[in-house]
Amino acid sequence: MTVPNQTSGSWRRILGTLALAVLLEQLPWSGWALALRPDFVLVAVLFWVLHQPARIGFGVAFFLGLLADFQDGAVFGQHAIAYVIGVYLLLYLRLRLLQFDPYRQAAQLFPLLLTVQLTVLLVGWLAVNPPAGLGVLLPVFSSVVLWYLIALFVRLWHGKGLQDRS
Amino acid sequence: MATQGQLMFARRLGPTARLLIWLLIGVVCVVFDARYQALEGMRSAFSLLLQPVRELMRAPTDVAAELGGFFTRHRLLQKERDVLLAERSRLLVGVNAAQELARENAELRTLLQLQTRPGQQVVHAALLYQGHDWFAQRITLDAGGGSGLRNGLPVVDAVGLMGQVSRVYPGSSEVTLISNLEQLTPVFVERTGQRGLVAGSGYGRLELRYMPAQTDVRPGDRLLTSGIDRVYPAGIPVARISRVSRSQSGPYLRVECQPLAGLERSRAVLVLVAEPQVNTR
């Protein structure tokens, strides 16, 4: 695919590629092909967010995420949340990505796509069978409190000198 | 990054703020769907929207299969025909015996005034789409409410039990496979008659639960539905035991099973439609 510059992405082309991605996902994939199937819709959305951020953004990604949720029979919101996070990360990396050649772009997208997939996993896990309720998150809060206490203790013990010396 | 014609200062929300808004909407979606099942209408809408597309996109693979079948070698067909003829004659003998047994069975049942077994009427359906999710082992069929399907009906393929209809749309339906984590199937061991529960353990694997350590189960035993739940008719093959191991911590055996039905392969399935049973008690 040729990389269009800022002006050549017309609505027709954007919607065409997104529709094509949705169509490709509708093929009756099975077996190894299903396991290896790339997430066409996510790739298409991220591509257009990279090149046309004014037109394709969070809303489209969220809607297509809901569509992906329907297709997999998953809980609504599972893919939607992950896609929105993917869009955010891409917007964060956007200026850097635009200067890279395709090889480096792909390398940069790897952690991003990994994050999206892990988010799908995490949201599904929390929504469908949370192992011990949301109580598993309690250590986060207690750890924050512990951090505060330790920092406070060290500050009081050493006084302000700790910062001055460093 | 202010180019010409663009304002220097942003009038829109920043990406972080928009991310948080959409995340909030997403969490609301998850909660409403998982806790209150409030979004089934949206599912139906998506189903209406996507069903023709799915039918359309199934065409290329169907054509490919047709072409592949057309070019099958003549020799292969002859061999297959011979095998089938032999099997047919063998099966005919079995059918005669089965008819005899069925008549005898019917007489005995009328004698005992029992209800006939549910699941006599079948609806043919084809696999339309296979989901790709870790938590929802589901497939979509091309038959729905229009063909008389309801929630909870058992789905089988030629070999064994596939799962249960869990969502019905006008022209399609979703089947929860027996390998789904939340799916329980009451079974009995064919060899010994021992009853038990088969639970899905995700990705096409099953587990026979709550078998006390001294139970007589061996690898290779077949598990059939026991029919206790009044959902599945009794005697449908479900799985074959592949590994039995003693767990160090619990009082139960760890029994792993392989489903007999081609959960990930079967393209043509049957839905067993039973008459709704009226309990007169």
Question: Is the pLDDT at B27 greater than 60, yes or no?
Answer: yes
Residue A6 lies in a domain: no
ipTM, 2 dp: 0.75
Question: d(Cα A125, Cα A145) in Å, to the nearest integer?
Answer: 27
- Residue A99, chain B, CB below 8 Å: the answer is no
- A161 in a domain, yes or no? yes
Mean local confidence (pLDDT), A23-51: 87
Q: What is the DSSP secondary structure assignment for residue B160, as one 8-state letter?
A: S
CA–CA separation, B156 and B270 (whole Å)? 5
Q: Give the CA angle between residues A156, A157, A161 to the nearest 5°.
A: 85
Query: With a CB-CB cutoff of 8 Å, which residues 111-140 of chain B face chain A?
Result: 127-136, 138, 140
| Residue A1 pLDDT exceeds 50 | no
Q: Do residue B26 and residue A84 have CB atoms under 8 angstroms apart? A: yes
Partners of B139 in the beta sheet? B130, B175
In chain B, positions 147-186, which contact chain A (CB-CB < 8 Å)?
A: 167, 174, 181-182
Residues A113, A37 share a domain = yes
Encoded amino acid at B111, one letter: L
User: Into how many domains does chain A fold?
Assistant: 2
Q: Do the beta carbons of residue B68 and residue A35 sit within 8 Å?
A: no
- Rounded to whole angstroms, the Cα distance separating B125 from B269 reads 5
Instruction: Look at residue A112 in the predicted model and tell me its pLDDT.
Output: 94
Residue range of the domain that includes A153:
132-166
Q: Are residues A45 and A121 in the same domain?
A: yes
Q: Which residue has the higher pLDDT, B124 or B28?
A: B28
pLDDT band at residue B281, thresholds of 50, 70 and 90? very low
Do A62 and A78 fall into the same domain?
Answer: yes
Same domain, A98 and A143: no
Q: What is the pTM of this model?
A: 0.68
Residue B13 carries which side chain, given as an amino acid letter? L
Mean predicted lDDT score pLDDT of chain A: 85
- Does residue A94 lie in a domain region? yes
Average pLDDT over residues B243-260: 86
A63-97 confidence digits (pLDDT tens): 999 999 988 888 888 999 999 999 999 999 999 99
Q: Report pLDDT for B1.
A: 47
Beta strands in B85-231 (DSSP E): 121-130, 138-141, 154-156, 161-168, 173-177, 184-189, 195-200, 206-209, 222-225
For position A59, what pLDDT does the model report? 93
pLDDT per residue as tens digits for the range B124-141: 888 777 877 767 778 888
pLDDT tens-digit series, residues B12-25: 788 899 999 999 99
Residues from chain A contacting residue B32 (CB–CB below 8 Å): 76
Tens-digit pLDDT profile for residues B153-189: 889 887 889 999 988 888 889 899 998 888 899 999 9
Q: Which residues contact B134 (CB under 8 A, 6 or more apart)?
A: A121, A124, B202, B203
- Asked if A85 and A137 sit in the same domain, the reply is no
Same domain, A164 and A99: no
In a domain, A149, yes or no: yes
